[in-house]
């Protein structure tokens, strides 16, 4: 959902002025990325998103007035085409899980380099999902901890998938990229992309991150298996 000129428009939501300014300077030096606004807390992020309609919102987790997770939930519900990339210094399971459930398309720690940050923005703007290294494993651990308290989606949604689509979904949940899935299944990468697209449409999901969450919540993939 980039502008006609191909520039990715970014809104930065963080209660620390130095963080906002630092990210703004870093991203504005990267080709094809423009920071179009800043927000100081969750409610401000929602208002600024409505005003500016950015392609990507960089969202801090802990902010006054309204936290980043609830702000993410409201923004993704109101603007399905806008991607949220969660940035935090708190490398904790509960935040990973809640952010992804809220609709975030990516999760990155604040100590990421400028190049990693820019690449993350490009990845989520393109409609893909991005998880920081190790997040998939922590997500698995969180599902293990939750045990029977998970809300399992209707089984018929999984049943709508073909056998091969079900295989692809399970591999997505393990954190494999399209290229890695192609190697695993001995098929072309474009074939995998087609399967992924069909999975998202059939299950009514935004991206690969939601697909991974769905796979665990539906019981298709068991944390104890990894």
What is the reported pLDDT for 101? 78
This prediction has a pTM of 0.70
Beta-strand runs (E) in the chain: 8-13, 33-39, 56-60, 83-88, 106-109, 130-131
Domains and CATH numbers, the chain: 8-133 (3.40.50.2300), 148-225 (1.10.10.10)
Per-residue pLDDT at 160: 82
Task: Pull the structure tokens for residue 142.
Answer: 């969180």
Those residues with Cβ within 8 angstroms of residue 142's Cβ, 6 or more apart along the chain or in another chain: 93, 94, 96, 97
Q: Which residue has the higher pLDDT, 1 or 20?
A: 20
What is the pLDDT of the chain when averaged over all its residues? 81
Question: Which are the contacts of 222, defined by CB distance < 8 A and separation ≥ 6?
Answer: none
Taking the alpha carbons of 53, 43, 86, 18 in that order, is the dihedral positive or negative?
Answer: positive
Of residues 80 and 36, more confidently modeled: 36
Query: Which strand ranges, in their side-by-side order, compose the sheet holding 130-131?
Result: 33-39, 8-13, 56-60, 83-88, 106-109, 130-131
Tokens standing for residue 93: 């399971």
Q: What are 122-148's pLDDT values in tens digits?
A: 988 887 766 655 555 566 556 555 544
| Per-residue model confidence as pLDDT tens digits over 161-178 | 899 999 999 888 877 778
Across the range 8-33, mean pLDDT stands at 93
Q: What are the φ and ψ backbone dihedral angles of 113, each rounded to 5 degrees?
A: -75, 170
Alpha carbon distance, N-terminus to C-terminus of the chain:
35
Give the pLDDT of residue 226: 42
Residue with the two structure tokens 């987790």: 61
Query: 178 with 189: CB under 8 angstroms?
Result: yes
């Amino acid at each position: 959902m980039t502008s006609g000129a191909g520039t990715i428009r970014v809104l930065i939501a963080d209660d620390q002025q130095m963080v906002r300014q630092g990210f703004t300077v870093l991203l504005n030096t990267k080709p094809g990325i423009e920071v179009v606004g800043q927000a100081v807390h969750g409610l401000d992020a929602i208002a600024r998103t409505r005003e500016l309609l950015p392609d990507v919102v960089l969202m801090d987790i802990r902010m006054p007035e309204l936290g980043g997770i609830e702000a993410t939930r409201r923004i993704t519900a109101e603007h399905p085409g806008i991607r949220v990339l969660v940035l935090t210094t708190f490398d904790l399971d509960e935040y990973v899980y809640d952010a992804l459930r809220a609709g975030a398309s990516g999760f990155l720690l604040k100590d990421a380099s400028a190049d990693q940050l820019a690449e993350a923005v490009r990845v989520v703007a393109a409609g893909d999902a991005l998880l920081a290294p190790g997040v998939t494993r922590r997500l698995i651990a969180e599902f293990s901890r939750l045990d029977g308290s998970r809300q399992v989606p209707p089984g018929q949604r999984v049943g709508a998938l073909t056998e091969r689509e079900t295989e692809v979904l399970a591999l997505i949940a393990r954190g494999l990229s399209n290229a890695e899935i192609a190697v695993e299944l001995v098929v072309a990468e474009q074939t995998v992309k087609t399967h992924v697209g069909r999975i998202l449409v059939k299950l009514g999901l935004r991206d690969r991150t939601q697909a991974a969450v769905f796979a665990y919540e539906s019981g298709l993939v068991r944390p104890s298996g990894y």
